[in-house]
């Protein structure tokens, strides 16, 4: 009898084990996970403030079926998020930081998308007398000599990086000077502060033109080669960060360099401003 009881108990336990979750899973394999449909884009504020993304993103979403969630910030911050695997794709305009991002293995497939240019804007009275100068470095030097108010983004963005380069070339350290103020925000916010306070500012042309009617600022220095402003799209490396939507990032990058997107970029701003706000560059060789 004891032996039969033991056999019965064993049979009962074996029967129950068939209904445990692990066995149910084994019997009925799980369906493959649905592909991610959201694409997290970290991009410089100029692409948003200018209104370009309001045209590009709906076109991409309609064509691809993906939904783009945009985080507008300075290029430096966008790249930092990419290095941490917190977003899927980056659209930036800070070449040195971008190259470092790719060299470190966090970014892949860096592609040229477009360019515009930076300009130095300031009040109509132009107290530092920089209007018409052909050299951005000379203009920056004059602003420092005149101790005229200069408003910086101060946010580690691509624009801020270019501004710091200009100060370095002019052998001027503006930090700590009473005439130098950091807005600590996006391009639109920085332009508004400069306008309200009657100061100078380095800005991308697209954002300035988009906000011009509400600003008391004019373009004073432009055309210097050092003011070229180039944008690249970079996918975050999904092999390094498995949670990243690699397929979505690739689709977005390929869209930006496609004929359809390049046409949108080339036409954007013509009707409103009489000139495009960006020059489409996909497929061109970089200097």
- The pLDDT tens digits for 235-284 are 999 999 999 999 999 999 999 999 999 999 999 999 988 889 999 999 99
pLDDT (0 to 100) of residue 286: 83
pLDDT (0 to 100) of residue 15: 45
Using pLDDT thresholds of 50, 70 and 90, give the confidence band for residue 185: confident
pLDDT (0 to 100) of residue 2: 45
Alpha-carbon distance 131 to 145, whole Å?
A: 15
203, 227, 251 - which closes a domain:
227
Parent domain of 75: 38-116+229-280
pLDDT digits (tens, 9 = 90+) for 211-227: 999 999 999 999 999 99
Q: 81 to each of 10, 43, 171, how far by Cα in Å?
A: 56, 11, 32
In a domain, 163, yes or no: yes
pLDDT (0 to 100) of residue 235: 98
Phi/psi for 93 (5° steps) reads -140, 50
- Strand-pair category, 228-236 with 38-44: unpaired
Alpha-carbon distance 239 to 261, whole Å?
A: 27
Report the domain count for the chain.
2
Q: Where are the alpha helices (DSSP H) in the chain?
A: 2-17, 21-27, 45-49, 53-64, 75-83, 95-103, 136-146, 158-169, 187-197, 205-211, 246-256, 259-267, 270-273
Alpha-carbon distance 244 to 250, whole Å?
A: 11
Q: Are residue 123 and residue 221 in the same domain, yes or no?
A: yes
Percent of the chain whose predicted confidence (pLDDT) is above 70: 87
Mean pLDDT of 50-57: 95
227, 247, 264 - which closes a domain:
227
Q: Are residue 100 and residue 241 in the same domain, yes or no?
A: yes
Q: Are residue 184 and residue 241 in the same domain, yes or no?
A: no
Alpha-carbon distance 131 to 105, whole Å?
A: 43
Domain CATH number, residue 206: 3.40.190.10
Q: 2 to each of 7, 9, 273, how far by Cα in Å?
A: 9, 11, 95
The residues, ordered by sequence, that sit 6+ positions from 187 with a Cβ below 8 Å of its Cβ are 45, 46, 49, 153, 157, 159, 203, 204, 207
- Strand-pair category, 67-73 with 38-44: parallel
pLDDT digits (tens, 9 = 90+) for 5-42: 344 444 444 444 444 444 444 445 555 556 679 999 99
In a domain, 14, yes or no: no
In a domain, 21, yes or no: no
Contact criterion met (CB below 8 Å) for 157 and 76:
yes
* Total number of residues shown for the chain: 287
Alpha-carbon distance 73 to 48, whole Å?
A: 9
pTM of the predicted protein model: 0.79
pLDDT (0 to 100) of residue 13: 44
Q: Are residue 60 and residue 81 in the same domain, yes or no?
A: yes
In a domain, 106, yes or no: yes
Q: Are residue 96 and residue 121 in the same domain, yes or no?
A: no
Q: Are residue 149 and residue 203 in the same domain, yes or no?
A: yes
Q: Are residue 199 and residue 143 in the same domain, yes or no?
A: yes
In a domain, 30, yes or no: no
Q: Are residue 83 and residue 170 in the same domain, yes or no?
A: no
Q: 185 to each of 43, 153, 157, 194, 231, how far by Cα in Å?
A: 14, 6, 9, 12, 20
Q: Are residue 201 and residue 267 in the same domain, yes or no?
A: no
Q: Are residue 44 and residue 166 in the same domain, yes or no?
A: no
Alpha-carbon distance 77 to 26, whole Å?
A: 45
In a domain, 150, yes or no: yes
In a domain, 70, yes or no: yes
Average pLDDT over all residues of the chain: 89
Min mean pLDDT across 35-39, 64-68, 138-142, 178-182 is at 35-39
Question: Which of 19 and 71 is assigned the larger pLDDT?
Answer: 71
Q: Are residue 195 and residue 131 in the same domain, yes or no?
A: yes
Q: Are residue 61 and residue 74 in the same domain, yes or no?
A: yes
């Amino acid at each position: 009898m004891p032996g039969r009881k033991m056999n019965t108990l064993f049979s009962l336990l074996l029967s129950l084990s068939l209904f445990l979750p692990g066995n149910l899973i084994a019997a009925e394999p799980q369906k493959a996970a649905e592909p991610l449909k959201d694409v997290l884009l970290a991009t410089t504020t100029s692409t948003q403030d200018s209104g370009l993304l309001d045209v590009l993103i709906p076109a991409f979403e309609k064509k691809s079926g993906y939904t783009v969630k945009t985080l507008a910030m300075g290029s430096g911050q966008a790249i930092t998020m990419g290095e941490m695997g917190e977003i899927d794709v980056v659209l930036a305009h800070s070449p040195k930081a971008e190259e470092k991002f790719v060299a470190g293995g966090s970014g892949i497939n860096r592609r040229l998308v477009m360019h515009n240019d930076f300009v130095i804007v300031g009040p109509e009275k132009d107290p530092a007398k920089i209007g018409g100068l052909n050299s951005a470095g000379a203009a920056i030097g004059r602003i420092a000599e005149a101790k005229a108010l200069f408003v910086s983004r101060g946010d580690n963005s691509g624009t801020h990086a270019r501004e710091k380069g200009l100060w370095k070339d002019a052998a001027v350290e503006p930090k700590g000077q009473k005439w130098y103020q950091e807005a600590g925000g996006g391009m639109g916010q920085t332009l508004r502060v400069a306008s309200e306070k009657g100061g100078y500012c380095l800005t991308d042309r697209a954002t300035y033109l988009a906000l011009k009617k509400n600003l008391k600022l004019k373009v004073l220095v432009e055309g210097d080669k050092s003011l070229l402003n180039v944008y690249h799209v970079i996918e975050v490396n999904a092999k390094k960060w498995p949670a990243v939507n690699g397929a979505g990032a690739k689709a977005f990058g390929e869209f930006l360099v496609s004929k359809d997107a390049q046409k949108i970029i080339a036409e954007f701003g013509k009707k409103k401003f009489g000139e495009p706000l960006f020059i489409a560059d996909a497929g061109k060789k970089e200097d």
